[in-house]
Amino acid sequence: MKTSSPLVYFGSDDFSARMFERLLTADFFKSRLKYVVTKTPQKKGRGRVVTPTAVETLARTLPGVTILHANTRKELDQAIKPLPTPLSGVLVSYGVIVSSFVLNRFEPGLINFHPSLLPKHRGPSPIEGAILSGEKTTGVSVMKLVEAMDAGPVYAQHQLKLTGHETTQDLYELIVNKASDWFAEQLQAIWDGRLLPYEQDETRATYTKMIKKQDGFLQPDTQTATECERQIRAYRQFPKSRANIDGQDLIITKAHVIENANEAPLVLRCEKDTFLSVDELVAPSGKTMSAESYLRGKR
């Protein structure tokens, strides 16, 4: 069934804004867009300046688009309640759990862009999860949202090959560059009634967690060098990976696995007698430098 109802875009962070920007280049999307739902502007930076989300900043440039704010499920219910039905909707990295009341107002459903090959890596950190797991292939899924986390039926998936050297930011860029135009094509097919969803295989589901600051501390006693190296890449933006080196808490930004401890100037001995060469770190001064430069400064 072809649908041309008013369109609502849900999103908040920079990744969502990048996807939003790409979708706006498609006439069928931009012409139907009437509402943008995002989180409330927050105080940021040293000056504590009230700053809108990246999605709101972009939405403010669009004539005829109404911006709605909601930080909680209850606020979202109230924001959506006055809107006409049925609605069409797209959600990309919004950060608020959506209730059945909201979901039921969308036809054929609220469509979500999820950066993993569902049912793998459900949850709040799928990109980090793919890196931590050492995936050689990841991808994105277009799905219909349900109340259960990332458990809705899938319309389409797009695979992306990994080199094994990507950071989280690298993978975000790869997804935006390689999958955003594809996503627009899937949306048009869904709204035209040409693409129907299929149920996920629950027996293959894996889950990611909400990443916290304390998750950044490396645990060489219980992690292999390979696991530490993956964590450094996955957590390079947040929460950053830290290790105690010579009695100092240092942020490690680049590293690689080596066969023995004599191959590099600064090495972490990890579980199962594996070794990690620290290539780049943030010194106590706050300056990012090579391991060699750091050691020269200590001498």
> What confidence score (pLDDT) does residue 47 get?
72
Across the chain, what does the average pLDDT equal?
Answer: 94
Amino acid symbol at 235: Y
- Is the separation of the CB atoms in 257 and 226 below 8 Å? yes
Question: Which of the listed residues 146, 181, 204 is the one where a domain comes to its end?
Answer: 204
Report the distance separating Cα 28 and Cα 61, nearest Å. 18
Query: In the beta sheet, which residues pair with residue 280?
Result: 254, 290
- For residue 156, the model assigns a pLDDT of 98
Query: pLDDT above 70 covers what percent of the chain?
Result: 99
Q: Hey, what are 4's tokens?
A: 């041309």
Instruction: For residues 165 and 276, give the distance between their C-alpha atoms in angstroms, rounded to a whole number.
Output: 15
Mean pLDDT value across residues 191-209: 95
Domain count, the chain: 2
Q: Which pLDDT band holds residue 43 (cuts at 50, 70, 90)?
A: confident
Query: Taking the CA atoms of the chain, what radius of gyration do you get in angstroms?
Result: 22
Chosen domain end from 204, 223, 248:
204
Question: Which residues touch 246 (CB under 8 Å, ≥6 apart)?
Answer: 298
- Is 15 a domain residue? yes
- In this predicted structure, the answer to whether residue 1 has a pLDDT above a threshold of 60 is no
Domain's final residue, options 204, 237, 269: 204
Q: Is residue 2 part of a domain?
A: no
Distance CA 111, CA 274 (A): 44
More confident residue, 1 or 90: 90
Q: Which of 229, 202, 187 is nearest to 122 (CA)?
A: 202
Q: What is the pLDDT of residue 64?
A: 94
Assess if residue 160 is contained within a domain: yes
List the domain range (segments joined by +) for residue 248: 213-298
Position 2 scores a pLDDT of 65
Q: Annotate 98-133 with DSSP letters as a single string.
A: PPHHHHTTEEEEEEEEESS-TTTTBSS-HHHHHHHT
Q: For 237-271, write each residue's pLDDT tens digit.
A: 999 999 998 888 999 999 999 998 888 999 999 99
Q: Is the pTM value of this prediction over 0.75?
A: yes
Examine residue 238 and state whether it is found in any structural domain, yes or no. yes
